[in-house]
Amino acid sequence: MTKTLVEPAEKKLGIRVISDQNADRYPVVKAQVLSGKPQWDLFDAAAGYCARGRLENVLEPLDYNLIPNAADIPEAFKDEYSIGTSAYATVLAWNTETLGENGPKTWAEFFDVEKFPGRRAMRNYARPMLEIALLGDGVAPENLYPLDVDRAYAKLEKMKPHVAVWWTSGAETTQLLFDGEVDMMPIWDGRAAAAIDEGAAAKFTRNQAIMEFSCVAALKGTKNKENTMKFINELLDPKGQADWATNYTVGPLNTKFAQFMDKERLATLTTAPENLKLQVPLSAAWWASPAGEDAERRWLAFMQK
């Protein structure tokens, strides 16, 4: 994103963008706003954090008059306080050295330790492991929400003895694929694609992939509101988004990006039309709700058992 979107925006707008790569962004955002002196102007994060920020009144309303590119972002990915930049998916990947070409293609097969024996990895985080557990237990995608949290955790409890690694970062998943340490796992599509491009013996399926989107939002009380809005507009530039997707497996949300893409490359992306038909959208609104927060709190207890 830096080379394809941020640096061109700096040049066009005549501004300097200072990036703070804080992995735990939202608590920092909330603390800064509550202090009355926000140091950041905007943040990007998974959509659930933007939804939470809206509920907790720590975001500045967007000035859409300064964000004309927002017109080409589907309504499902924008609201008064935040807007989506890209989508990504948690896909099911497998080791081709141990499972060949015919690895598990559904989450039910991932949970079927008899049909598909082998070492598994899962993410050490409730979202979207609860969705994956329910799909693995036979829940239809259209019936996922509201999540049956008890059922999801019960499914995960049965699976726990078969999970060799609980991963916590994208870099870790890439290494797991390269090392062949596990036979199958949920992994972000960009990480899986990059590892395979670099020679990892793996494949992945987009069938039942859990699709999420990243958002940007301005901190309430930002002193640089006008430039922040103009910068957000540049992040949504269709040509810039296409350049970004050419170099990294990400799904741009500007609907005009495809005209700047090679068709073969387009077919590999999260937001390619054919891939959208296979994937299951995650509900950021549910995760930002009290039920979602409770489900997240239960994760720590689940992992400590």
Listed range (13-27, 87-101, 287-301) with the worst mean pLDDT? 13-27
Assign residue 178 the CATH number of its domain: 3.40.190.10
Establish if 18 belongs to a structural domain. Answer: yes
Give me the number of domains the chain comprises. Answer: 2
**CB 206 within 8 Å of CB 91:** yes
pTM: 0.86
pLDDT of residue 138 exceeding 90: yes
The predicted structure's pLDDT at residue 305: 85
The residue range of the domain holding 135 is 90-211+283-304
**Do 192 and 262 have their domain in common?**
no
**Do 179 and 291 have their domain in common?**
yes
**Do 146 and 292 have their domain in common?**
yes
Establish if 230 belongs to a structural domain. Answer: yes
The predicted structure's pLDDT at residue 24: 77
The predicted structure's pLDDT at residue 250: 86
Establish if 277 belongs to a structural domain. Answer: no
**Do 57 and 118 have their domain in common?**
no
At 146-156, the pLDDT tens digits run 999 999 999 99
The predicted structure's pLDDT at residue 79: 96
The predicted structure's pLDDT at residue 247: 86
Strand boundaries in the chain, DSSP class E: 42-46, 59-60, 82-95, 120-123, 163-167, 184-188, 202-219, 251-252, 280-281
Establish if 274 belongs to a structural domain. Answer: no
**Do 76 and 216 have their domain in common?**
yes
CA distances from 135 to 17, 46, 102, 166, 277 (A): 41, 21, 20, 19, 16
Establish if 289 belongs to a structural domain. Answer: yes
At 247-298, the pLDDT tens digits run 888 899 999 999 999 999 999 999 998 999 999 999 998 999 999 999 999 9
Indicate if the alpha-carbon torsion angle 38, 87, 112, 195 is positive or negative.
negative
Establish if 233 belongs to a structural domain. Answer: yes
Neighbouring CB atoms inside 10 A of 158's CB total 13
At 198-256, the pLDDT tens digits run 999 999 999 999 999 999 999 999 999 999 999 999 999 999 999 999 988 889 999 99
**Do 79 and 104 have their domain in common?**
no
**Do 183 and 300 have their domain in common?**
yes
The phi, psi pair for 184, rounded to 5°, reads -165, 150
Establish if 271 belongs to a structural domain. Answer: no
The predicted structure's pLDDT at residue 225: 98
pLDDT of residue 99 exceeding 80: yes
Question: In percent, how much of the chain has pLDDT > 90?
Answer: 92
**Do 55 and 202 have their domain in common?**
no
**Do 81 and 183 have their domain in common?**
no
Q: Give Cα 167 to chain centroid, integer Å.
A: 15
pLDDT of residue 23 exceeding 80: no
- Mean pLDDT confidence for 148-166: 98
At 187-204, the pLDDT tens digits run 999 999 999 999 999 999
**Do 94 and 202 have their domain in common?**
yes
The predicted structure's pLDDT at residue 29: 96
**Do 295 and 177 have their domain in common?**
yes
At 2-22, the pLDDT tens digits run 889 999 999 999 999 999 877
**Do 224 and 203 have their domain in common?**
no
Establish if 278 belongs to a structural domain. Answer: no
